[in-house]
């Protein structure tokens, strides 16, 4: 069995889940949250030690009071900084505060001095998912001070200062080494600034089955989404069984992009890979991948139809490039548009209208700047709400879309969405998008539907990067041309369980 996708809920849906669960819930959800937080804290605290918990004026602070009481009962020296008016706490938080005081605890209006041995753990129980504005004044100063502590730093539900829906730091933001998300994942934990601010994310469902209460609007990407496709090939197969991928691109000075896409397609197992170059004088054979078959872009678009068409790697924005995009949109095959094909699409409302009316699968793979051009807005606006941006493009152009970046967003034309967590900063180099296009193109050519191909290709791309980063022990400088072989290894690890492998050629994880 492969890892299953996890449900993701925006803040509004989390509030709905809480409302559905609270009536008659025993013990109360706050008590469950505090107990889950204490359990995680105890796993980080090997011996009785000094713990600092910063509690805020709402229910997140109440979770912190419950946690503090339980840690104190376990023998730890718990110090609470609490600057709010206890008379204005919500009812459950007020009860948790009173229980802390009744157990012999006390609160301090400011952060206490660091004890001689240092804090063993600091906990952010300030604001959680409800914060909608930048932290200022005392709380901003508290966050800055907590972030300097060299011990584990635990955020309850979400780091204070991080937008739970978008992953955007609203201002000063708690830098957690661990985050315990209550009930379910939120989008902001997984995309944009979220992964940098959250550290290791764990989920405490608090005894609830969120999906039974309210179907999740989004999910994480995991191999369980496309598990039925992960089967060994039939022995009675040949190159024609696995499809032809055609790559259109390679304008003068940018032939390398088309080669990267073609090499990735070949390495993942496309039956044949045909590369149609806009610079026909560049080369007629790839000495590193002589399996690639070269044509002019015009000949490839006018010849026999491939099983899948990838347009954009190194395409440029010439008139000839525009004609290639228009011709490709009109062909009755699955079509993936990337790079300059997206920029050319953004320049023409008529081209967008034609694309939206296609009767065959369309996939778009923009990075934030390309997404901004498609939406006629700024990159900052796209990044401010990556999920909304991806869904707008998918709906407007009736296409499957991946908005690339930290926590890539995949959106379907019908509004469904997913967030990917594989991949790492070493992949922030030129040509990575070309490799992704080639991988997805191969899956399309092999008969995968558009959604499965995009979800699998995005996740596989990140897994290959994670494998290489771990193997090479690097945090930067991963080269795009190194990715194809790693993707082949990861993909075959998904397909072939250990008992089916003749030799131990792959010892890495099947997924991150």
Q: Checking DSSP bridges between strand 7-8 and strand 218-220, what pairing results, if any?
A: antiparallel
Strand partners, 362: 335
Question: From CA 259, how far away is CA 299, in angstroms rounded?
Answer: 18
Question: From CA 360, how far away is CA 23, in angstroms rounded?
Answer: 48
List, as residue ranges, the binding site: 59-63, 124, 128-134, 139, 157, 160, 257, 314, 367, 404-408, 433-434
Helix intervals (H) in 130-250: 137-146, 194-198, 210-213
Q: Give kind and range of the element (H or E) at residue 386.
A: helix 386-397
Cβ atoms of residues 156 and 121 within 8 Å: no
Phi, psi of 202 (to 5 degrees): -125, 155
Question: From CA 299, how far away is CA 230, in angstroms rounded?
Answer: 34
List, as residue ranges, the binding site for (6S)-NADPHX: 59-63, 128-134, 139, 157, 257, 314, 367, 434
Question: Is 377 in a helix, a strand, or coil?
Answer: coil
Long-range contacts of the stretch 485-490 (C-beta < 8 A, 24+): 485/267, 487/264, 487/267, 487/268, 487/435, 487/439, 487/460, 487/461, 487/463, 488/267, 488/268, 488/269, 489/464, 490/460, 490/463, 490/464
Q: Give kind and range of the element (H or E) at residue 181.
A: strand 178-182
Of how many residues is the chain composed? 512
141's tokens: 């100063």
97's tokens: 């505060």
Cβ atoms of residues 292 and 259 within 8 Å: yes
Cβ atoms of residues 300 and 286 within 8 Å: no
Cβ atoms of residues 72 and 78 within 8 Å: yes
List, as residue ranges, the binding site for K(+): 60, 124, 160
DSSP letters spanning 242-295 = S-EEEEEE--TT-HHHHHHHHHHHHHHT-SEEEEEES-TTS-S--SS-TT-EEE
Cβ atoms of residues 265 and 439 within 8 Å: yes
Question: From CA 115, how far away is CA 360, in angstroms rounded?
Answer: 65
> Closest Cα to residue 12, out of 186, 180, 148, 155?
186
List, as residue ranges, the binding site for AMP: 404-408, 433
Name residues whose C-beta falls within 8 Å of residue 94's C-beta, 6 or more positions apart in sequence.
Answer: 62, 86
Angle, helices 483-495 vs 255-268, to 10°: value is: 20
Question: From CA 25, how far away is CA 31, in angstroms rounded?
Answer: 10
């Amino acid at each position: 069995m492969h890892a299953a996708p996890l449900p993701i809920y925006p803040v509004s849906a989390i509030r709905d889940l809480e409302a559905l669960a609270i009536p008659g819930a025993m013990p109360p959800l706050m008590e469950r949250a505090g107990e889950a937080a204490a359990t995680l804290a105890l796993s980080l605290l090997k011996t009785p030690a000094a713990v600092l918990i910063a509690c805020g004026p709402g229910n997140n602070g109440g979770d912190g009071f419950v946690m503090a009481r339980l840690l104190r009962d376990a023998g730890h020296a718990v110090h609470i900084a609490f600057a709010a008016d206890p008379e204005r706490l919500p009812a459950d938080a007020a009860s948790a505060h009173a229980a802390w005081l009744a157990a012999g605890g006390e609160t301090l209006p400011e952060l206490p001095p660091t004890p001689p041995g240092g804090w063993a753990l600091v906990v952010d129980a300030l604001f959680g998912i409800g914060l909608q504005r930048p932290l200022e004044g005392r709380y901003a100063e508290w966050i800055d001070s907590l972030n300097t502590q060299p011990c584990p730093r635990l955020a309850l539900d979400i780091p204070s200062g991080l937008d739970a829906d978008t992953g955007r730091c609203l201002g000063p933001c708690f830098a957690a080494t661990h985050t315990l998300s209550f009930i379910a994942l939120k989008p902001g934990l997984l995309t944009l600034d979220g992964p940098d601010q959250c550290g290791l994310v764990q989920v405490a469902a608090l005894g609830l089955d969120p999906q039974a209460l309210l179907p999740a609007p989004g999910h994480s990407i995991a191999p369980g989404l496309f598990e039925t496709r992960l089967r060994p090939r039939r022995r009675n197969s040949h190159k024609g069984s696995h499809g032809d991928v055609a790559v259109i691109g390679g304008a003068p000075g940018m032939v390398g992009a088309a080669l990267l896409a073609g090499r990735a397609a070949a390495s993942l197992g496309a039956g044949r890979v045909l590369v149609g170059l806009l610079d026909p004088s560049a080369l007629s054979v790839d000495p590193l991948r002589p399996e690639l078959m070269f044509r002019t872009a015009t000949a490839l678009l006018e010849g026999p139809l491939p099983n899948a068409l990838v347009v954009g790697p190194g395409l440029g924005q010439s008139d000839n490039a525009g004609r290639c995009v228009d011709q490709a949109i009109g062909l009755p095959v699955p079509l993936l548009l990337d790079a300059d094909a997206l920029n050319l699409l953004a320049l023409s409302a008529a081209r967008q209208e034609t694309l939206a009316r296609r009767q065959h699968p369309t996939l778009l793979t923009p990075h934030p700047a390309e997404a901004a051009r498609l939406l006629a807005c700024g990159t900052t606006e796209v990044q401010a709400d990556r999920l909304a941006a991806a869904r707008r493009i998918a709906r407007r152009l009736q296409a499957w879309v991946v908005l690339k970046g930290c926590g890539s967003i995949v959106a379907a034309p019908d509004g469904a969405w997913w967030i990917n967590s594989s991949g790492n900063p070493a992949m922030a180099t030129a040509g990575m998008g070309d490799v992704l296009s080639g991988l997805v193109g191969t899956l399309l050519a092999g008969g995968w539907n558009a959604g499965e191909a995009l979800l699998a290709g995005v996740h596989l791309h990140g897994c290959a990067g994670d494998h290489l980063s771990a193997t090479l022990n690097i945090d930067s400088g991963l080269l795009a041309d190194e990715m194809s072989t790693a993707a082949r290894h990861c993909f075959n690890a998904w397909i072939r369980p250990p008992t089916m492998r003749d030799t131990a050629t792959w010892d890495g994880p099947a997924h991150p």
